[in-house]
């Protein structure tokens, strides 16, 4: 785990205890390459894409997807970061990260948007992201790419591009970054 993930765990008062590593950094890289090829197949005009990483878990994945799309298509899609903190329906339960900010230098009107996040769980973060998108224009389409889909949806949200499906219990937690994917538990520090 990176120092940023350790910092976030400390700030939330929870420690992540690793049970097992599910994917190595090399396997994450292969999964992202596959997902980038799938994105190109579905969206032939890469120049009309905007890849939006959800703060904070989706940022590194979004940046890597943009690099891969640029290599594959010889055209660079737009890149942005989307902070959904104030659009969440559980603000009283989750602290707002201090470093999160929306960074987007263009209107999303008439663009195909690829939302990128690390882990898809209940779907509430994606619902918040869809609400946040309305402040930045009306995209032609919105697609979802996640490194890990762990199930347990509370809302009717399904990813378009998935690195790995991992069935989990609600007591388990997943940490995903470019260095790998781990399953474990979160407990009080």
Asked, for residue 153, whether it belongs to a domain, the answer is yes
Model confidence over 95-134: pLDDT tens digits? 665 657 888 888 899 999 999 999 999 999 999 999 999 8
Supply 164's token pair: 């790995």
Three-state secondary structure of the chain:
CCHHHHHHHHHCCEEEEEEEEEEEHHHHHHHHHHHHHHHHHHCCCHHHEEEEEECCCCHHHHHHHHHHHHHHHCCCCEEEEECCHHHCCCCCCCCCCCCCCCECCCCCCCCEEEEEEEEECCCHHHHHHHHHHHHHCCCCEEEEEEEEECCCCCCCCCCCEEEEECCCCCCEEEEEECCEEEEEEEEEC
Tell me how many domains the chain contains. 1
Asked, for residue 72, whether it belongs to a domain, the answer is yes
Asked, for residue 84, whether it belongs to a domain, the answer is yes
In this prediction, residue 7 has a pLDDT band, given cuts at 50, 70 and 90, of very low
Asked, for residue 179, whether it belongs to a domain, the answer is no
pTM above 0.85, yes or no: yes
Q: Cβ(84)–Cβ(93) under 8 Å?
A: no
Asked, for residue 126, whether it belongs to a domain, the answer is yes
Mean pLDDT (the chain) is: 89
Model confidence over 11-59: pLDDT tens digits? 455 789 999 999 999 999 999 999 999 999 999 899 999 999 999 899 9
Asked, for residue 32, whether it belongs to a domain, the answer is yes
Number of Cβ within a 10 Å radius of residue 168: 16
Asked, for residue 44, whether it belongs to a domain, the answer is yes
Model confidence over 154-176: pLDDT tens digits? 999 999 999 999 999 999 999 99
Domain that holds residue 148: 25-166
Asked, for residue 2, whether it belongs to a domain, the answer is no
Amino acid 72: pLDDT: 97
What phi and psi values does residue 73 have, to the nearest 5 degrees? -105, -5
CATH number of the domain bearing residue 85: 3.40.50.2020
| Whether pLDDT at 187 is above 80 | no
Supply 19's token pair: 């049970």
């Amino acid at each position: 785990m990176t120092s940023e993930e350790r910092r976030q765990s400390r700030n939330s008062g929870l420690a992540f205890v690793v049970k097992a590593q599910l994917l190595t950094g090399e396997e994450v890289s292969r999964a992202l390459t596959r997902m980038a090829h799938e994105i190109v197949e579905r969206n032939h005009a890469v120049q009309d894409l905007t890849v939006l990483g959800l703060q904070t878990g989706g940022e590194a994945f979004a940046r890597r997807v943009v690099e891969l799309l640029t290599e594959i298509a010889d055209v660079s899609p737009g890149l942005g970061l989307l902070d959904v903190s104030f659009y969440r329906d559980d603000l009283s339960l989750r602290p707002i990260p201090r470093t999160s900010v929306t960074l987007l230098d263009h209107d999303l009107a008439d663009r195909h948007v690829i939302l990128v996040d690390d882990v898809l769980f209940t779907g509430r973060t994606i619902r918040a992201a869809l609400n946040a998108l309305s402040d930045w224009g009306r995209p032609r389409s919105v697609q979802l790419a996640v490194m890990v889909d762990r199930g347990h949806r509370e809302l009717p949200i399904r990813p378009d591009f998935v690195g790995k499906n991992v069935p989990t219990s609600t007591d388990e937690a997943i940490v995903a970054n470019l260095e790998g994917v781990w399953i474990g538990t979160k407990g009080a520090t």
